[in-house]
Amino acid sequence: MQAASAVAKLRCRSAAHTRATAARTTEGRIVSGVNILHPAAGACAEVVVVGAAVTQGVGELETIVTVGERGRILVTPCDACRRLLADHFPGLRMIIGPADDPQVVPVAEMPAAIDAAKPTDEPEIRDR
């Protein structure tokens, strides 16, 4: 959470970058990234982090957290990102919930990750 907040405070300084994600590998390395809001080709911060992790060859991601509002809130990854994360790192745990009472949830237990094709009632965060 500290790494994601630090990245958010440093890099989320424009309307194009509103979220920061940080992930810790099983070896303790931190991979971080911010989202890209663009009408033609945006990307969630989680996607940026998965790309960076693969690019850097850091191995297995163990824990991931996304923050918004320059680190003041935790953001639950969107359905597509949960699916992406579960497919790439089945053992990954997500830190979600209120920033003052965060929970650690295995990505495999998130409904959208288990069956992305199944419609869900849960609210989706549209701006990425």
The binding site for Zn ion (CB under 5 A) comprises: 44, 78, 81
- Min dist CB 76 to Zn ion, Å, is 10
* DSSP H or E stretch at residue 111: helix 111-114
Nearest partner of 35 among 55, 10, 17, judged by Cα: 17
CA gap 5, 72 in Å, rounded: 8
State which residue, 27 or 74, has the beta carbon closest to Zn ion.
Answer: 74
Q: Establish whether 109 is a catalytic residue.
A: no
State which residue, 65 or 81, has the beta carbon closest to Zn ion.
Answer: 81
31 three-class SS: strand
- Min dist CB 66 to Zn ion, Å, is 8
Catalytic machinery residues: 46
